[in-house]
Amino acid sequence: MFRCLIKRIPMGGVYLLVFCTSLSAAPKNDSWRVWLQNQIENHPQVVAAKEKMESSLSWANNQELPLYNPELETEYEREGDSNNFKIGITQTIDWWDKSSIRKKQASINRQTAHFEFKAILQRRTAETISALIEWDSAKQHAKLAKEQEDRLSALLKVITQRQEAGDLGQLDAELTYLELSQQLNETAETHVQFKIAEARVRELLPDWSVEMSQVPKSFWRFDANNSFSQSIDQIPNVAAARTAWESLRQEAEVAKLDAKNEPTFGLNAGQNGDDDVVGISFSMPLNIRNDFSAQVKAINQQVLSAESQFLAARRSQQFSIEAAQSTLNEYKKHYKRWQGLMKGRIESSAKLLEQQWRSSDVSTSEYLLSLQQRADGIVSGIELQKKYRKAYIDWLLNTGQVLTALKQAN
C-alpha cells in the first residue's frame, strides 16, 4: 500500500511533495542481485550475445593453431610389367612468421569479444533497472490516483450529508462532482500506464514478482562522490572499438605477409620397377598475375576507418559522460533538497486542510483547489525521484559502471 495523494497542474503557492514507498518487504541485497543477474543472463537476447562471444573466442583459438597442415601425396602407375608408386609428405613453411602475428590478433579478438558482451550486458542491466524504476513510478501514480478518487468520493458523501442538513449548498456538491469526474479519467489512465510498465518488466524479467521489484537502497549510494576516474578507454563500448582497430592493424600486417611467397618442401619415397626411389620436392608460388597489393591497400583503408571509429566513439563517450554527470548533479541536488524540506510535513498538511474545511475556515472550492495543488506537488515529487534515478542509471551506463554498482550493492 501507499500513503499519499496526487494530481495535475501546479497553480501557484507552496507545494508539498512526497514519495510513496511500498510497504512490502524488500529482498535481501545479495539475493536480489543474484536473482537479477540470473534473470538478465538467461534472457534470450543476452544468451544470443553470449553465444556470439563464444563463437568469437573459438575463432580466436583457431587463429593460434599452426597456419599450414602437412599434405600427404601418393602416385601410382603401371609401366609394362612393373608397378611404380610413390608416397610422400609436403609441408608449407611459415617463412615470414605469420603465426606470431595471428596469435597477437587472437588475443586482441578475445578482448574485443569480452568487451562487446560486457557492453551488451551493461545496456541490458541498465534497461532492466530503468524498467523497474518506471514500474515503481507507475505504481505510485496508480495508487495515488485511486486514493485521490476515494478521498473525493468520501468528500462527496460528507457534502451530501451536510447539504441535507443545510450546512452547504448545491454548488459545493456540483464542484465535487466535477472534480471527481476528472479524477475518474486520471485513475483509468494511471492504471493503464501501470499495466504497460508491468508488461515491460515481465518481458525483461521472465520470473519477476512484486517481492523482487524493489531495488536495494545501497545500489543508489554507489556514486557517493559522484566522480569518474576510470579511463574512458576502459569503458566497454570504447574498449571494443579500440581493440577492433588494433585487430585490424594486425590483420594488415598479416595481409602484407600474405603478399610474400612461402616455400613448400616435400619428401617422398617409392619404387620404380625393381629400384627404390627417394626424392625431395620444392615449390614456390610466383606472384606474377596477382601481387595482392590491392588486398593490402583495402585492409589498410579498413584500419584507418576503424581508427576513426574508435576516436569518434571516444569523443562521443567523453561528452556523454559530461552530459550525464551534469544531469545527475542537477536532479540529485533538487532531490536531496526536497527530502530535507518535506520531511514530516505530508500527513500534517492533509489533516490541516481537512480541519479547516470542516470548521468552514476555507470554502469547498478552496479546499478542492488546495487538495489539487497538494496532489500536484506529490506527483511532481514522484517524477523528480524517477528522473533522478534514471539519470543515475544513465550516468552509470555512460561511465561503464553499471555492473560494478550492482556488484557493490550491499
Say which residue, 42 or 230, is predicted with more confidence. Answer: 42
**Residue 153 confidence (pLDDT):** 86
Sketch out the chain's domains with CATH numbers: 29-407 (1.20.1600.10)
C-alpha–C-alpha distance, residues 290 and 282, integer Å: 21
pLDDT tens per residue across span 160-219: 887 777 777 788 788 888 888 888 999 999 999 999 999 999 999 988 888 888 888 888
- What is the H or E stretch that residue 110 is in? helix 98-164
- In sequence order, the β-bridge partners of residue 84 are 77
Residue pair 122/400 in contact (Cβ under 8 Å)? The answer is yes
pLDDT tens per residue across span 67-84: 889 999 898 888 777 788
Residue 22 scores a pLDDT above 80: no
Q: What is the mean pLDDT of the chain?
A: 83
All residues at 6 or more sequence positions from 63 whose CB lies less than 8 Å from its CB, including other chains:
102, 103, 105, 106, 109
In the DSSP assignment, the letter for residue 362 is: S
To the nearest 10 degrees (0 to 180), the angle between helices 364-398 and 293-342 is 150
Q: Is the pTM of this model over 0.85?
A: no
Q: What is the mean pLDDT of residues 273-280?
A: 84
C-alpha–C-alpha distance, residues 410 and 397, integer Å: 20
